[in-house]
């Protein structure tokens, strides 16, 4: 992985809780079995990955992911800061970002949209509801939604 | 009244005026006489006119007569009666000529003819034959009497007795010496005036001198015979000498005899006879005049006496009158006062005479007096005037004055009448003062009611006090016995407000005296032997008398009110009463104001503390809500993970459904599901406090129907009757209202589950002016005693296995109600049903409650 130039990724999951990552990844795979998911454990790492900085400098020419799933509560740099910095980038600033939040705080939601979030999703507390939410997200953003450089329904074809 | 009378009596009236008046009257009389057809009326008028003419000409010395063209008398005045000796009744309608000496008649007739021809008039002298057959000389003059058409209807004549002159003229013809003697006699008679005794003596002496006789005697009628009245010279026996005797006669009768006597026989010549006859004639005339004068004099005296009597009666009447009466002349100088008037003013009667009425009036009443006493003030107008008595005290009089008008309407004086109304005035004054006192007390009561500081109340009271108790300086002082200090809270000196100051208590009086709280009155500070510092200060300020009344509340002196005047003994009992009257409510008002101040301070303190506590409480609530939110938020992820992994475990163990691990995983899943719902509700509840209310008019009917339709799936397979009555429109947050209504309806649905047929009624509820809904069910209900537990978080009245739920629902409803300023409560009977009430508050109430959620 370090030898070869890094491949493009489909989804960047920004989540510091490994258990949450452990629960989310299988659910994403249920929608798109072969999609490439990268996980960033904090805000700094997420920005490094997206902007091709620091340890991920080699990614500078790599196309941005089709979707960023961004938690708001993150170590080092919180989700809103990540969103702001991301949107400020001329190269990758247009990447679709879905905010995953635990609260329904209207002020927080408004702020997210103001900073350029494409969608905000409240993570349900029950596992079954969570599962259906993740499925719906994957189905929409990876199959329905079109992004530059990849044909619509590309993933559906691979399935 | 008197001056006018006296004036009338004393004023000389020119004869010509009287003749003119008489002519006018007579003309009227005669004109009236010509009116034959209205004879009876005319007769009456004639009689009246005659009476008036008589009155006017009664006192004239000239004889006044009137006669018609046939020379018949129609009128004669008393002077003419005296001239002829005939009463006017005898003269009436008699031919004038028959009283004229036959020798003089032709000349008179000729004169009349001249008059009739309209030629100028000439005075005529002719002889009149009197009733006593005497001959008297008269000088007559006539004017024709004409009617308005210019026709002559008669003559008006005046006759003057010129007998004496004629006799003198005759005597002059006889003898110059005699003439001169007669002149002298006349002068003497003139000098003697009308005193008959003197006249007689003069005549007697002159008779002796002119005839050279030894003596003379004048005898006058006494009873039936003659008796000597005056005797001059020697008495001569009648038998030896000669006696010359002439009668003394006036027009009508023989008054007496004049005798001159000589011891020699034939002593008297013809000249002597003439002289004596002349003297006798003179004397007769003089005596006649004297008698007439005396008669008139006696009539005058009689009239004066009558007048004096009537005046006396009047005076008695006036003196006895209860009213004061004065008479003033045209310059306003008093000419008469009655006893009562003098008493009223406290002077002797005489001290008032010659002074102006105005002098006795109080300066304040002078303007009113000018109206009352001036000419414009007609009779009947009365004025209340204040008089100043000799001793300086005042008397109130009800004064009515009337002008006394002389002839021609000229003001000759004023008569005034005064009724002493001092008592009435005093009563009125007392009434006015007591009314004012009442008004002041009322004012003070108002001041007590109004929220005012002690200083304000003090100033208000002093303002009222100064209106009723004249004083140069006044103050309200409050005592602080514990600090031995006095605080001046309000005061005025010479109209200027005194600044608030504090001074040691003992400056006023010994503290024991102040504690007793009595009234103190210094009539004259200058005479106080050891004045307190306060009194010394007042003395320096020019004050002389000081009245101090205590301010007492519930028996405790709290201060005092001081009134000071620059004059000694300025205050009387009434002033003291007023001061006390004002001091009583003033003390209470000050105490109240003080208490109110204190109350205000304490209330402010309390409010401050409440505000602080409220702020603390709000802070704590916000903190708590934040905490609750944070906890519930942070619980979510682990809870989901536990549930997630348990689920995954369950799916992995599906091949061995009987394995214990499978069972455990199921329990974990169930537990986390319940915990998840609880955390969700808690978070929701916490979020409520952080959310702004969006109030608007919401139709509860529509809302309820919507909620009911959404609840239909929960009621599937059950017999549920929804009775939705007419519901109001309320001002509330739509989302929260829906939440609350959903909770209540879901509850009703849940607890009626054991019923074969659930009946849920939704109707309007009103309480404390607020509207909302009532939800009544026929469910299992609860004991009303447990109602208070219903709305607490996690409070449940039923077992979880009977009715699902986590005890957050009704807490949520209550939170929503409270956020709206409304209320939620319940009534129930076990096994019968429950009714839940929810109101949303008024917008204003909601705003207030939003501040302190």
pLDDT digits (tens, 9 = 90+) for B461-470: 888 788 788 8
Strands B473-480 and B770-777: unpaired
Question: How does residue B237 score in pLDDT terms, banded at 50, 70 and 90?
Answer: low
Closest residue, chain A, to B639 (C-alpha):
A125
B626 in contact with A, Cβ within 8 Å: no
Of the candidates B474, B308, B324, the one whose C-alpha atom is nearest the C-alpha of residue B401 is: B324
Contact between B700 and B678 under an 8 Å Cβ cutoff? The reply is no
How buried is residue B96: exposed, middle or buried, by Cβ count under 10 Å (0-12/13-18/19+)?
A: buried
How buried is residue B288: exposed, middle or buried, by Cβ count under 10 Å (0-12/13-18/19+)?
A: buried
pLDDT at B851: 39
B691 in contact with A, Cβ within 8 Å: yes
Across the interface, do A23 and B639 touch by the CB < 8 Å criterion? no
Residue reference for tokens 């009197």: B130
B-chain CB neighbours of A18 within 8 Å are: none
Across the interface, do A19 and B641 touch by the CB < 8 Å criterion? yes
Question: How does residue B621 score in pLDDT terms, banded at 50, 70 and 90?
Answer: confident
Residue reference for tokens 């409480």: B617
The mean per-residue pLDDT over the stretch A125-147 comes to: 87
Cα separation, B268 vs B216, in Å, equals 13
pLDDT > 50? residue A98: yes
pLDDT > 50? residue B2: no
Closest residue, chain A, to B688 (C-alpha):
A105
A17 in contact with B, Cβ within 8 Å: yes
Helix (H) or strand (E) holding B402: strand B394-405
A84 in contact with B, Cβ within 8 Å: no
pLDDT at B93: 85
DSSP structure string for B131-195: TTS-EEEEEEEEEEEE-TTS-EEEEEEEEEE-HHHHHHHHHHHH-HHHHHHHHHHHHHHHHHTT-
The C-alpha angle B16, B20, B22, rounded to 5 degrees, equals 110
Across the interface, do A125 and B636 touch by the CB < 8 Å criterion? yes
A34 in contact with B, Cβ within 8 Å: no
A-chain CB neighbours of B691 within 8 Å are: 106
Closest residue, chain A, to B692 (C-alpha):
A106
Q: Coil, strand or helix: which one is B769?
A: coil
The mean per-residue pLDDT over the stretch B167-179 comes to: 62
Contacts with B324 (C-beta within 8 Å, 6 or more apart), sequence order: B337, B338, B340, B341, B342, B343, B344, B345, B397, B417, B418, B419, B420
In angstroms, the separation between the Cα of residue A118 and the nearest Cα of chain B is 23
The mean per-residue pLDDT over the stretch A1-15 comes to: 76
Residue of B635, B644, B652 to mutate, testing the A interface (most A Cβ within 10 Å of its Cβ): B644
In angstroms, the separation between the Cα of residue A131 and the nearest Cα of chain B is 9
Across the interface, do A123 and B637 touch by the CB < 8 Å criterion? yes
pLDDT > 90? residue A114: yes
Q: Quick one: tokens of A21?
A: 């990552």
A-chain CB neighbours of B638 within 8 Å are: 19
Residue ranges of E strands in A28-159: 37-40, 67-71, 97-101, 119-122
Minimum-distance CB partner of A103 among B633, B638, B640: B633
Closest residue, chain B, to A73 (C-alpha):
B634
pLDDT at B198: 78
Closest residue, chain B, to A129 (C-alpha):
B640
Across the interface, do B637 and A105 touch by the CB < 8 Å criterion? no
What is the number of CB-based contacts under 8 A between chain A and chain B?
Answer: 51
DSSP structure string for B646-661: HHHHHHHGGG-TTSHH
Cα separation, B711 vs B745, in Å, equals 8
Across the interface, do A23 and B633 touch by the CB < 8 Å criterion? no
Cα separation, B751 vs B764, in Å, equals 21
Across the interface, do B641 and A126 touch by the CB < 8 Å criterion? no
Q: Quick one: tokens of B663?
A: 């069972």
Across the interface, do B641 and A106 touch by the CB < 8 Å criterion? no
A21 in contact with B, Cβ within 8 Å: no
**How many angstroms separate the first and last alpha carbons of chain B?**
100
Which position has the higher pLDDT, B784 or B387? B387
A30 in contact with B, Cβ within 8 Å: no
Across the interface, do B644 and A17 touch by the CB < 8 Å criterion? no
pLDDT > 70? residue B225: yes
Closest residue, chain B, to A21 (C-alpha):
B641
Q: What is the pTM of this model?
A: 0.39
pLDDT in tens, B176-195: 666 566 667 777 766 666 57
Cα separation, A117 vs A80, in Å, equals 9
pLDDT in tens, B91-129: 888 888 888 888 888 888 888 788 777 777 677 888 888
Question: How does residue B6 score in pLDDT terms, banded at 50, 70 and 90?
Answer: very low
pLDDT at B228: 84
B319 in contact with A, Cβ within 8 Å: no
Q: Quick one: tokens of B228?
A: 């000597």
DSSP structure string for B281-297: HHHHHHHHHHHHHHHHH
Residue of B634, B637, B642 to mutate, testing the A interface (most A Cβ within 10 Å of its Cβ): B637
pLDDT > 50? residue B849: no
pLDDT at B704: 92
pLDDT > 60? residue B17: no
For chain B, give the mean pLDDT. Answer: 78
A135 in contact with B, Cβ within 8 Å: no
Strands B473-480 and B485-493: antiparallel
Across the interface, do B645 and A23 touch by the CB < 8 Å criterion? yes
Contacts with B57 (C-beta within 8 Å, 6 or more apart), sequence order: B18, B22, B64, B77, B78, B79
pLDDT > 80? residue B171: no
Q: Quick one: tokens of B187?
A: 């002068």
pLDDT at B847: 42
pLDDT in tens, B705-764: 999 998 888 888 888 899 999 999 888 888 889 989 999 999 899 889 888 899 999 999
Helix (H) or strand (E) holding B741: helix B734-751
Cα separation, A83 vs A43, in Å, equals 9
Cα separation, B185 vs B369, in Å, equals 62
pLDDT at B127: 87
A126 in contact with B, Cβ within 8 Å: yes
In angstroms, the separation between the Cα of residue B791 and the nearest Cα of chain A is 25
Contacts with A136 (C-beta within 8 Å, 6 or more apart), sequence order: none
Across the interface, do A130 and B644 touch by the CB < 8 Å criterion? yes
pLDDT > 90? residue A4: no
Of the candidates B285, B286, B274, the one whose C-alpha atom is nearest the C-alpha of residue B246 is: B274
Contact between A112 and A83 under an 8 Å Cβ cutoff? The reply is yes
In angstroms, the separation between the Cα of residue A14 and the nearest Cα of chain B is 15
B467 in contact with A, Cβ within 8 Å: no
Contact between B773 and B762 under an 8 Å Cβ cutoff? The reply is yes
B625 in contact with A, Cβ within 8 Å: no
Question: How does residue A155 score in pLDDT terms, banded at 50, 70 and 90?
Answer: very low
pLDDT > 50? residue B13: no
A102 in contact with B, Cβ within 8 Å: yes
Minimum-distance CB partner of B680 among A125, A127, A130: A125
B215 in contact with A, Cβ within 8 Å: no
A-chain CB neighbours of B680 within 8 Å are: 125
Across the interface, do B691 and A106 touch by the CB < 8 Å criterion? yes
Which position has the higher pLDDT, A94 or B437? A94
Closest residue, chain A, to B684 (C-alpha):
A104
Across the interface, do A124 and B640 touch by the CB < 8 Å criterion? yes
DSSP summary character for residue B567:
S
Q: Coil, strand or helix: which one is B558?
A: strand
Minimum-distance CB partner of B643 among A102, A105, A127: A127
The answer to which of A113-122, B159-168, B421-430 has the lowest mean pLDDT is B159-168
Cα separation, B461 vs B583, in Å, equals 8
Contact between B809 and B803 under an 8 Å Cβ cutoff? The reply is no
Across the interface, do B640 and A123 touch by the CB < 8 Å criterion? yes
The fraction of chain B above a pLDDT of 90, given in percent, is: 6
B659 in contact with A, Cβ within 8 Å: no
Minimum-distance CB partner of A126 among B638, B673, B691: B673
Cα dihedral A92, A97, A102, A104, rounded to 10, equals: 120
Which position has the higher pLDDT, B496 or B412? B496
pLDDT at B46: 52
In angstroms, the separation between the Cα of residue A9 and the nearest Cα of chain B is 26
**How many angstroms separate the first and last alpha carbons of chain A?**
24
pLDDT > 70? residue B256: yes
pLDDT in tens, A53-73: 888 888 877 888 889 999 888
Residue ranges of E strands in B515-666: 520-522, 545-553, 556-565
Q: Rounded to the nearest 5°, which phi and psi values hold at B724?
A: -105, 110
Residue B48, CA distances (Å) to B54, B255, B571 in order: 10, 36, 72
Helix (H) or strand (E) holding B413: strand B411-420
B-chain CB neighbours of A127 within 8 Å are: 640, 643-644, 646-647, 669, 672
User: What residues form DSSP beta bridges with B225?
Assistant: B222
Of the candidates B229, B223, B228, B248, the one whose C-alpha atom is nearest the C-alpha of residue B238 is: B228
Of the candidates B194, B191, B198, B217, the one whose C-alpha atom is nearest the C-alpha of residue B276 is: B217
pLDDT > 50? residue B683: yes
B629 in contact with A, Cβ within 8 Å: yes
């Amino acid at each position: 992985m370090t030898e070869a130039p890094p491949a493009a990724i489909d989804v960047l999951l920004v989540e510091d809780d490994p258990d949450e990552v452990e629960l989310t990844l299988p659910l994403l795979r249920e929608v798109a079995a072969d999609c490439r998911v990268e996980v960033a454990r904090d805000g700094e790492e997420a920005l490094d990955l997206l902007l091709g900085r620091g340890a991920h400098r080699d990614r500078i020419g790599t196309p941005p992911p089709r979707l960023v799933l961004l938690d708001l509560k993150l170590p080092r740099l919180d989700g809103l800061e990540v969103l702001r910095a991301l949107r400020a980038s001329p190269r990758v600033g247009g990447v679709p970002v879905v905010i995953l939040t635990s609260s329904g705080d209207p002020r927080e939601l408004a702020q997210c949209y103001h900073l350029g979030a494409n969608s905000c999703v409240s993570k349900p507390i029950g596992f079954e509801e969570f599962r259906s939410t993740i499925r719906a997200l994957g189905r929409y953003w990876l199959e329905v939604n079109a992004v530059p450089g990849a044909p619509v329904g590309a993933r559906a074809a691979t399935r | 009244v008197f001056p006018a009378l006296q004036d009338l009596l004393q004023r000389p009236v020119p004869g010509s005026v009287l003749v003119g008046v008489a002519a006018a009257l007579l003309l009227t009389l005669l004109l009236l006489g010509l009116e034959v057809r209205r004879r009876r009326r005319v007769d009456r008028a004639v009689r009246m006119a005659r009476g008036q003419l008589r009155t006017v000409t009664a006192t004239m010395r000239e004889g006044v007569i009137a006669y018609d063209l046939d020379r018949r008398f129609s009128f004669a005045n008393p002077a003419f009666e005296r001239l002829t000796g005939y009463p006017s009744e005898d003269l009436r309608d008699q031919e004038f000529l028959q009283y004229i000496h036959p020798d003089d008649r032709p000349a008179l007739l000729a004169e009349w003819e001249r008059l009739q021809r309209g030629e100028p008039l000439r005075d005529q002298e002719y002889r009149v034959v009197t009733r006593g057959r005497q001959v008297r000389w008269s000088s007559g003059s006539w004017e024709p009497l004409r009617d308005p058409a210019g026709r002559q209807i008669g003559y008006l004549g005046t006759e003057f007795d010129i007998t004496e002159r004629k006799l003198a003229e005759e005597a002059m013809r006889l003898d110059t010496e005699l003439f001169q003697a007669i002149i002298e006699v006349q002068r003497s008679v003139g000098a003697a005036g009308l005193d008959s005794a003197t006249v007689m003596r003069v005549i007697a002496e002159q008779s002796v001198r002119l005839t050279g006789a030894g003596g003379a005697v004048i005898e006058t009628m006494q009873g039936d015979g003659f008796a000597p009245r005056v005797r001059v010279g020697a008495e001569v026996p009648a038998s030896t000498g000669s006696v010359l005797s002439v009668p003394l006669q006036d027009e009508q009768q023989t008054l007496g005899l004049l005798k001159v006597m000589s011891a020699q026989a034939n002593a008297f010549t013809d000249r002597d006879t003439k002289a004596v006859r002349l003297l006798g004639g003179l004397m007769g005339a003089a005596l006649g005049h004297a008698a007439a004068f005396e008669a008139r004099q006696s009539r005058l005296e009689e009239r004066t006496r009558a007048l004096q009597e009537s005046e006396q009666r009047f005076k008695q009447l006036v003196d006895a009158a209860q009213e004061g009466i004065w008479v003033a002349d045209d310059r306003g100088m008093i000419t008469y006062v009655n006893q009562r008037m003098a008493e009223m003013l406290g002077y002797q009667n005489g001290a008032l005479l010659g002074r102006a009425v105005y002098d006795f009036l109080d300066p304040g009443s002078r303007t009113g007096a000018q109206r009352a006493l001036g000419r414009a003030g007609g009779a009947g107008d009365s004025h209340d005037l204040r008089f100043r008595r000799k001793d300086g005290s005042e008397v109130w009089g009800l004064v009515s004055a009337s002008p006394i008008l002389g002839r021609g309407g000229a003001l000759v004086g004023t008569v005034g009448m005064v009724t002493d109304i001092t008592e009435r005035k005093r009563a009125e004054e007392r009434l006015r003062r007591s009314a004012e006192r009442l008004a002041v007390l009322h004012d003070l009561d108002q001041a007590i009611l109004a929220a005012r500081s002690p200083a304000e109340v003090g100033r208000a009271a002093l303002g009222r006090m100064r209106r009723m108790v004249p004083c140069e300086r006044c103050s309200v002082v409050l005592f602080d016995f514990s600090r031995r200090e006095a605080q001046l809270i309000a005061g005025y000196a010479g109209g200027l407000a005194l600044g608030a100051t504090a001074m040691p208590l003992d400056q006023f009086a010994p503290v024991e005296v102040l504690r007793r709280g009595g009234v103190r009155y210094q009539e004259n500070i200058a005479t106080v032997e050891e004045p307190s510092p306060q009194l010394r200060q007042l003395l320096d300020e020019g004050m002389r008398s000081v009245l101090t009344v205590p301010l007492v509340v519930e028996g405790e002196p709290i201060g005092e009110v001081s009134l000071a005047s620059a004059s000694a003994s300025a205050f009387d009992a009434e002033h003291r009463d007023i001061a006390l009257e004002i001091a009583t409510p003033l003390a209470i008002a000050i105490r109240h104001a003080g208490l109110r101040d204190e109350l205000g301070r304490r209330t402010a303190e309390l409010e401050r503390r409440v505000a602080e506590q409220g702020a603390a409480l709000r802070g704590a609530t916000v903190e708590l809500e934040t905490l609750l939110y944070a906890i519930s938020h942070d619980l979510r992820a682990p809870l989901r993970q536990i549930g997630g992994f348990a689920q995954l475990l369950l799916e992995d163990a599906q091949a061995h459904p009987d394995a214990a691990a499978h069972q455990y995983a199921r329990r974990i899943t169930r537990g986390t599901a319940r915990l998840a719902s609880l955390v969700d509700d808690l978070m929701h509840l916490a979020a409520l406090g952080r959310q702004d209310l969006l109030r608007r008019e919401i139709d509860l009917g529509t809302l309820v129907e919507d909620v009911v339709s959404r609840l239909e799936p929960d009621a599937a397979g059950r017999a549920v009757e929804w009775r939705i009555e007419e519901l109001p429109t309320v001002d509330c947050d739509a989302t929260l209202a829906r939440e609350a209504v959903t909770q209540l309806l879901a509850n009703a649905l849940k607890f009626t589950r054991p019923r074969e047929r659930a009946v849920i009624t939704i109707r309007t509820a009103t309480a404390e002016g607020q509207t909302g809904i009532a939800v009544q069910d026929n469910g299992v209900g609860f004991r009303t005693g447990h109602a208070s537990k219903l709305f607490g978080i996690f409070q449940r009245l039923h077992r979880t296995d009977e009715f699902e739920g986590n005890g957050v629902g009704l807490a949520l409803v209550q939170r929503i109600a409270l956020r709206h300023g409304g209320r939620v409560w319940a009534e129930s009977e076990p096994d019968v049903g429950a009714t839940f009430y929810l109101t949303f508050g008024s917008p204003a109430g909601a705003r207030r409650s939003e501040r302190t959620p």
